[in-house]
Structure 1
Amino acid sequence: MFKDSLRNKINLVFSITLVLLASLFIASVKYDHAKFEEHNAAQERAIAHYLYDYYLKTGKIDKAYLESQNVSLITDKGDVVQIERYFKEKGKYKKYAVDTYRLQRIILINNDRFKLFLENRNKPRYPVKRIIVFSIVLMFILFLYLWIVQSLKPLSELKEKIKTFSEGNLDISCSSDKDDEIAEVANEFDHAVTMIRELLQSRQLFLRAIMHELKTPIAKGRLMSEMLPDEKSKARMHSIFERLNLLIDEFAKIEKITSKNFKLNIKPYKMSDLVEASIDILMVENPERLVTIEIKKDYIVKVDFELFTLAMKNLLDNAIKYSTDKHVTVKILEDHVEIINKAEALKEPLENYFKPFHTSKSGLGLGIYIVKSILDIHHMELGYRYEEGNNIFTVR
């Protein structure tokens, strides 16, 4: 299929131009040849009439006149016999006939007074001037084409840099010192990249500063919790601070995901192992009371362990939080996982919950956004259906 690009349009325009130019050149050459043939035929008839009239007056053939018309009389008897046989075989042995014999234009004049075979040595002129003109036009068109294609080269470079930028590489420069529209676009895009880079850097600095500052009170809190006399309270406080520390680490991962500044470490894992790891990072007491795993058929999936378990953990966390019985069933099937909980159906289509900070009565705002972002990176899909009072989320 023809790609509707600017370069292809330019190629098409110049190809049509070259075809039209070649057609015009061929048509002009054919026209000149036709005019020559017409003039040559009229000249040959005039020669035949002149020779007949001159012979009636003088009884001779005017050879000087023939020479002046660049026409010669064929006198060799052997040649005359062969040419005469040739005209008879072609059915052209008449009072007047013209044909080509061995690349020679032969005129037969056969009347009641004489019989002559003449060779017309007039040839069409080689169209030197026309070839020169068309060659100059062709060179100009080719120069114009190369000039335009060369001027589009920065556009291809800008496309590659935009592609690199879309992949998360912000360390690019596309500024141009030229004075054309492409350079203006490149400079504006370079300015936008600089602004985005500075904005992301300031955001990252801000978030990292906050997370760093939070680490200090958490560390102090853990230290203080160790001084509590009650072992049960100590364990509970220790669990709370561990949870806060884990949340900060997750926020750091989320920040990297949303800024496309994360390098995946893809390895094969059993889906059952990934689900169990996701349950572990929920950091809840007696997780078997909250989550039931049903393995119909375990399978291997290639994922980044930290990111994928974070996505599964968010799904499990949401499922537990919004279930009516605080229980979730995880089914591992042949090629997908189902997270099932008893709860009300989603009030809106699942796609609406993919937006960050989505708010509704049933929640599921940032958590689903994080899950969708991680699954997109892994080229996986998140599905949803409601059956018999159960919400069923599918990771496929």
Structure 2
Amino acid sequence: MKFSSLRTKISLIFGIAVVLLAMLFALMISAQQEKHSLYNEAHERAIAHYLSLYYLKYGKIDTAYLKSQNISIITSPEEQVQIKHYFQSQGKYHNYATDTYRLKRIIIINNDHFKLMLENKNTPPFPWEALLFFGGVLAILGGLYWWIMQGLKPLTILKEKITNFSKGDLNITCKTEKKDEIAEVANEFDNAVRMIRELISSRQLFLRAMMHELKTPIAKGRIIAEMTTNPKQQEKMRNIFEKMGMLIDEFATIEKITSKHFTLRIKPYSTSNLIEAGIDLLMIDNPKDYIDTTIEEESLWSVDFELFVLVIKNLLLNGIIHGHTKKVSICAKSNFIEISNPAEPLKEPIENYYQPFHQSKNGLGLGLYIVKNIIDIHTLKLEYRHYEGVNFFTILKPPEEYQKS
């Protein structure tokens, strides 16, 4: 149970109210019993006094009066002996004594004129008034508690929908016809979701239209490249247009990632295949002149191939562009892939470079922004360190996945 939640606080308040009400009810019953006990004792003394006076005047016991007062005479000798022993053991056997014996209210009158053992059969009245008061207030509190909790139900539904929205579900609706404050919040949130949905839809439409328009001149460029008679020029133009086409596809992937509209296709891939595909994605001539690859331990990575290859490609490209020697080393072991290059240390904390289009002298554009997003999606870890003039970017497997591999 979360003590910070609104429901818990309300339940606690009502719980305290019920406990206080129960205590009040117990006090009322106790006071009523005390009142009855005092009245009963006075009544019993009055009866004993009346019987003494009546006996002095008429020489007998007024049994009719005792019957009218719901008091009976104990006539059994055996029971009289037991009661006498009990009162003597309690030190209460006097001229006049009262006590409870075996759930019976006993009155003993032991004077110079007569000896009587009486049983008072009057019982305390049932506390109907206190019970009705307690039941009525409890019913009111219960009704209020139910009414408030029913009023909070839309808040729970709204929370669930906000949670779904935060996970990327834009097809939610919170609209309600109610007029309370929670309904106002729900309706405003529904309006915000609808506007965000429309903005995302417009952005997607714009990007698709833009990429479609870009692909048309690229396709024409490829046709022109094929018509070129110079083989060297033809190959160069072909590579340029092919790279432009791949960049557009890459932008489409980035858009899906950032808008959270992407379904991961997780499968196990070997380290060597992932690195090789990342290098191929660079589309550079003679990659061995720029990249030194060392796979010390081959292992399997459970990743989305298309996205993870993009991570390796971006880290390699950043190393080549921003390094002193334009050369990059990539080293792989069973639990990590590490990309390093001689370069100046980053001027700011690495977290700043995870922002899109970070502006600085050594700005890495969208590279690290894309890398960090993809790494987070895969629940992997990206670490950066600078040591002896070399920048190191390390992709680490989660501990549980490393143990499996």
- Whether TM exceeds 0.5 here: the answer is yes
The separation in 2 between residues aligned to 1:85 and 1:219, in whole angstroms, is: 119
- Residues 52, 364 of structure 1: CA spacing in aligned structure 2 closer, same or farther, 3 A cutoff? same
Letter of the structure 2 residue corresponding to residue 390 of structure 1: V
Pairwise CA distance, 1:57: 4.3
Matches within 5 A, 1:331-350: 331-350=331-350
Task: Give 1:183's aligned residue.
Answer: 183
Task: Give 2:351's aligned residue.
Answer: 351
Letter of the structure 2 residue corresponding to residue 60 of structure 1: K
Contact 1:354 1:365 in 2 (8 A): no
Pairwise CA distance, 1:55: 3.3
Task: Give 1:297's aligned residue.
Answer: 297
Matches within 5 A, 1:11-160: 11-160=11-160
Report % sequence identity: 57
In the alignment, does 2:272 pair up with 1:272?
yes
Q: Secondary structure at the match of 1:358?
A: coil
Contact 2:3 2:9 in 1 (8 A): no
CA RMSD after TM alignment: 1.7
Deviations for 1:244-277, whole angstroms, at most 9, x for unmatched residues?
A: 0000000000001111111111111222321221
Gaps of 5+ in 2: 397-405
Q: Secondary structure at the match of 1:294?
A: strand
Pairwise CA distance, 1:238: 0.3
The separation in 1 between residues aligned to 2:102 and 2:68, in whole angstroms, is: 23
Contact 2:331 2:338 in 1 (8 A): yes
The separation in 2 between residues aligned to 1:272 and 1:143, in whole angstroms, is: 68
The separation in 2 between residues aligned to 1:105 and 1:43, in whole angstroms, is: 13
Q: Secondary structure at the match of 1:241?
A: helix
The separation in 1 between residues aligned to 2:268 and 2:149, in whole angstroms, is: 47
The separation in 2 between residues aligned to 1:145 and 1:300, in whole angstroms, is: 57
The separation in 1 between residues aligned to 2:198 and 2:2, in whole angstroms, is: 40
Task: Give 1:324's aligned residue.
Answer: 324
The separation in 2 between residues aligned to 1:109 and 1:272, in whole angstroms, is: 110
Pairwise CA distance, 1:23: 1.8
Letter of the structure 1 residue corresponding to residue 260 of structure 2: K
The separation in 2 between residues aligned to 1:365 and 1:115, in whole angstroms, is: 112
Contact 2:176 2:186 in 1 (8 A): yes
The separation in 2 between residues aligned to 1:4 and 1:334, in whole angstroms, is: 44
Deviations for 1:180-215, whole angstroms, at most 9, x for unmatched residues?
A: 011101100000001001001111111111100000
Q: Secondary structure at the match of 2:256?
A: helix
In the alignment, does 2:370 pair up with 1:361?
no
The separation in 2 between residues aligned to 1:388 and 1:294, in whole angstroms, is: 20
The separation in 2 between residues aligned to 1:73 and 1:376, in whole angstroms, is: 92
Gaps of 5+ in 1: none
Deviations for 1:7-66, whole angstroms, at most 9, x for unmatched residues?
A: 111111111112122222122112211211122122222322333344344443333433
Letter of the structure 2 residue corresponding to residue 301 of structure 1: W
Letter of the structure 2 residue corresponding to residue 86 of structure 1: Y
The separation in 2 between residues aligned to 1:5 and 1:275, in whole angstroms, is: 49
Contact 1:340 1:391 in 2 (8 A): yes
Q: TM-score, normalised by structure 2?
A: 0.93
The separation in 1 between residues aligned to 2:41 and 2:288, in whole angstroms, is: 109
